[in-house]
Amino acid sequence: MQPEELPAQLPEGSVLLDVREANEWQAGHAPEAVHVPMSELVQRLDEIPEADQVFVICRSGGRSAKVAAYLNANGWDAINVERGMNGWSAIGRPLVSDDADGEPYVL
């Protein structure tokens, strides 16, 4: 799925899962996203809210494709957001940052 195809308001019963590392997340992320880095996914699966669909995003789509495949193989309905946060940012979707002094950006 391309970022443009993801509704601006996530469908009810779905979640946006950001699997980037902490420094990438802190630089800028989607306001409604849940953060579980790919490197910690298996240990933190219980932190992913129950959802009908999980939209998985990373910086460019590579890590999220792997995570979506893993989740699908384990009973989730997961969809990779291709082009990731690079695509998200390019189409003007909102970003928030954990750095109160800085402007959000995709790292």
Hey, which residues are catalytic here? 58
In this structure, how many other beta carbons lie within 10 angstroms of the beta carbon of residue 50?
Answer: 8
Amino acid at 49: P
- 13 Cβ neighbours under 8 A, 6+ residues apart: 51, 52, 53
Nearest Cα neighbor of 6 from 67, 85, 60 is: 85
